[in-house]
Amino acid sequence: MTLQPSTAAALSRRLAVEQSTQRLPSVVAGVVRDGELTWSGTAGTLDGRAGGSAPSPDTQYRIGSISKTFVAVEVMRLRDAGLLDVADTIGTHLPEVPFGHVTIAQLLTHTSGLQAETDTDWWERAPGAGWETLLASGIGLRFTPGTAFHYSNVGYGVLGELVARLRGVPWHDAVRDGILIPLGMNRTTTRPAAPFAPGLAVHPLADLVHAEPEHDAGSMAPAGQLWSSVDDLARWAAFLAGRTGDVLSPDTLAEMLRPVAVNDVPGSPWAGAHALGWQMWNVEGRRLAGHGGSMPGFLAGLRVDVSSGDGVVVMTNATSGLGALGADLLTLLGEQEPKAPTPWHADASQADALDLVGPWFWGTYPFTISLDADGGFRLGEPGQGRGARFRRDGDRWTGLEGYYRSEPLKVERDASGRPVRLVLASFVFTRTPYDASVEVPGGVDPAGWH
C-alpha cells in the first residue's frame, strides 16, 4: 500500500526534526504495514558534514542488540526441531560452563543472574576472542537464577555458543541459513558491506564528530554484531508482526512474545518487560514488541504493535542522542492513517460449537461463552477476572491466556448430545448455579436453593 502524501510528509518532517535537534550525523527510518515497507526516509549525511553523501534505505547500520532477537529465534528453531528444550539447563548442552544449572529460558529472558558484561576489555570497543577465552575470563552469576531481571550481554554470548554447538556451524552461519536467506534479508551481515555508515560519536558540547572503532566481537558477537538496512530490518519487523513464512511457526512466535520478566525500576511504574528474546512494552494499553540496539557509533530500534501489525525501524550512526523517534513515527502513522478494521463476515464453521454459547456458572460466578472469528470461544471477558479465550484442540479446548493459559477444557454432554458440564482445570461449569441434574464436585445440598 502507499501512504497518503500528507502522512509521508509528516513522517519525513519528524525524521528531519530528530536529526537536527538530536544532532545526529545521519538517521534512517521506515514504517511497516500489512507486512510491507510503506514509507522510508533519511536525514543528514553519512559523515555528518554539510554536503556529504546521504544514506539510502539500502545503507547498512550496525543494529547492536537487535542481533539478540535473531539468536533467540534460532534457539527456538532448535527447540522446534527437538534438539533442545528451553527448560533444559545450559550445562546439559555446554557442560564446561560453571553455571550449568541456569536454564536456556532464563538466558533468553535475562533472568539467569549472569553478569551483564565481560571482565575483560570493554568488548564493544575491543576485538573479541573465542569461546574458550570468554569462559576462562571467569564469567559467573550476580544473582540467584530466576529471581530478578538482569540484562546480560554475556548471556547471549553463551546462547550463541549453544547455537553453534547444536548446529555444528558458527552461530551467524546458522542465522544466515535458517533465517536471513529464507526471509530475503541479504543486506544483514556480521561485518559491514558497502554501502554502510561509519560509526561516529558526536561531542556533547561541540559540533564535532569522532570515529568509533569497528571489529569482530568474537564470542560476544551474538550480543550485538549484526549490520542491517532499513529494507532488511523492515522484513524483520514484518516477521515479528506474523509474516514468519517457513522460518518459525506462528505458535512459537506467539510463545516468544509473552512477557516473562518485568524490567522494574524501584519507585517507578514498570513500562517494559522481556520475553523469550524480545523486549515488550505496554503503551497506553497497546502491547508493543521489538528490541533496541546500541554499539559505539550506532543506535537502532525496532517496534511492532502486536495487535495491528504496524511497525517501525530506525537507525543512526551516533553513539548517543536518539530520542523517541521510533515511538513517535508509529504514533503518527496511527493518527494520520488509522488502520481499517477487519471486515466482519458470517462464519458457517461456528455452527458446530453454537450449542456452547450463552450462560455458564462456576459455583455462583456467572460466565458467558461467545464464539470468536478464529474458531475459538471466549469464556467471560479476557483480561477480566478469570475470563479467557480458548481454541479448539482435538476434542478439547485449550486456554490461551490468563489463569487458564494452556489449561485444557473438556465439554461433557448428556445422552442427547446437549452440553451440560465444562471441566476446566478440575473446575466444573454448569448451565445453572450448582445444577442438581449433573455431577458437581462435593455434591449439591439435597434441599437445593432455600
Span 202-230, pLDDT tens digits: 999 999 999 999 999 999 999 999 999 99
Residue for grid cell 502522512 = 7
- The length of the chain, given as a count of residues: 450
For 181, 361, 369, the CA distances from 433, given in Å and listed in that order, are: 57, 5, 15
pLDDT at residue 382, as a whole number: 84
Task: Using the predicted structure, report yes or no on whether residue 1 has a pLDDT greater than 80.
Answer: no
pLDDT at residue 285, as a whole number: 78
Can you give the C-alpha Rg of the chain in angstroms?
25
Domain boundaries of the chain, sorted by first residue: 1-341, 348-430
Residue for grid cell 528474546 = 277
pLDDT at residue 309, as a whole number: 95
Mean pLDDT of 283-304: 94
CB contact at 8 A, 307 and 287: yes
Instruction: Give all strands of the β-sheet with 298-305 in edge-to-edge order.
Output: 36-44, 26-33, 311-316, 298-305, 286-295, 279-283, 272-274, 261-262
CB contact at 8 A, 76 and 49: no
**Cα–Cα distance, 214 to 430 (Å, whole number):** 66
Confidence class of residue 385 from pLDDT cuts 50, 70 and 90?
confident
pLDDT at residue 373, as a whole number: 86
CB contact at 8 A, 63 and 43: no
- pTM assigned to the model: 0.92
**Cα–Cα distance, 228 to 60 (Å, whole number):** 5
Task: Using the predicted structure, report yes or no on whether residue 271 has a pLDDT greater than 90.
Answer: no
For the four alpha carbons of 30, 54, 210 and 11, in that order, the dihedral sign comes to negative
What amino acid is encoded at 252 in this protein?
T
Confidence class of residue 383 from pLDDT cuts 50, 70 and 90?
confident
**Which of these, 204, 202, 180, lies nearest to 193 by C-alpha position?**
180
Cell of 146: 530466576
Least confident interval from 56-65, 111-120, 165-174, 266-275: 266-275
Confidence class of residue 340 from pLDDT cuts 50, 70 and 90?
confident
φ, ψ of residue 191 to 5 degrees: the values are -130, 155
Cell of 235: 522484513
For 152, 159, 354, 418, the CA distances from 166, given in Å and listed in that order, are: 22, 11, 47, 51
CB contact at 8 A, 34 and 122: no
Full DSSP string of 170-218: -HHHHHIIIIIHHHT-TT-BSS--SSBPPPEEE-TTSS-EEEPP----G
**Cα–Cα distance, 359 to 370 (Å, whole number):** 9
Q: Rounded to the nearest 10 degrees, what angle do helices 325-336 and 5-21 cross at?
A: 160
Q: Which residues of 337-369 are buried (b: 16+ CB within 10 A; e: fewer)?
A: beeeeeeeeeeeebeebeebeeebbbeeeebeb
Cis peptide before 195 (omega within 30 of 0): yes
Return all residues near 14 (Cβ < 8 A) that are at least 6 apart. Answer: 325, 328, 329, 332
Residues paired with residue 43 on neighbouring β-strands, in sequence order? 27
* Alpha-helix runs per DSSP H in 216-319: 230-240, 250-256
pLDDT at residue 370, as a whole number: 96
CB contact at 8 A, 247 and 239: yes
Mean pLDDT of 73-100: 98
Looking at domain 348-430, does it have CATH number 2.30.30?
Answer: no
> Quick one: CATH architecture of 1-341?
3-Layer(aba) Sandwich (3.40)
Residue for grid cell 559491514 = 192
Confidence class of residue 269 from pLDDT cuts 50, 70 and 90?
confident
